[in-house]
Structure 1
Amino acid sequence: MLTSVEGTYRNGRVELTEQPTDVHEGTRVIVTFMRSNEIDLASQGINEAQAEILQSHLATFADDWDSPEISIYDNYDAAKTNL
């Protein structure tokens, strides 16, 4: 299972913006450094105009994705096996 949590790198340490749930002390992690607010569109196979269209289409889902109720799907596969 993978859990993603946003954070910031400062003074040789990663500061998480939120505490992950269901993660035990000592769990191994992989840290990926991203350039702030820069996305290489060409590496994603789209140009700037296509990205703007995609962003406008996905914006309609933002309220749903950010709602607390959507968290029920965070562990969907595990919940499905418990049925």
Structure 2
Amino acid sequence: MCHTLVFATPNRRAAHREYLYERQWRLALERAGIEVPPAEDEQRRSYRENGMHALRHFYASVLLDGGESIKELSEYLGHHDPGFTL
């Protein structure tokens, strides 16, 4: 079975999470005005509250709200136990 990648590099390879975050996600957050880039003399702070893991939680919440079973959602997320998903 062939799957199309949702997040890929310009050469259509799987995007490593650090590449994705630094080159795509963080820039999109800044352009949308959700996150503000640090000043030159500041260190970049964590974007955990708006990062990819938050997107994963949002995805799961939308599916549950739409009536998806917890068993199916657990499989989508790669969890072995639906209790862990909950």
Where on the TM-score scale, by shorter chain, does this alignment land: which range? under 0.3
Larger Cα-atom Rg:
1
More helix by percentage: 2
